[in-house]
Structure 1
């Protein structure tokens, strides 16, 4: 991890399309589990490390969360 979040990466991010597609599909699954109503859109997120491994995932649980 960098101390400076604006510093460029020293390694290439995961570029395997199948890894990225799986992460995107999982993000959409997570979003679908969010609230169906409210002022905010359904949002899901999957964070991958440079090797393409999932290091975190989550979803918006509703206004104020």
Structure 2
């Protein structure tokens, strides 16, 4: 991804959807992002990082999450 050279391989940082609290169902509410990422097989850090971002690790890197 452009501009992500300083991030560890296999990781993405994302902001939760601000409208998720108004959306019903599986992807709704505060935990919807976690549910979708886990369903897709991504490892996700459940503790918010500085700035409110979430970190998720691609399934290919789950066994080696901090390789660069």
Structure 2 length-normalised TM: 0.31
Which structure has more relative contact order (CA 8 Å, sep 6+)? It is 2
Greater radius of gyration (CA): 1
Structure 1 length-normalised TM: 0.32
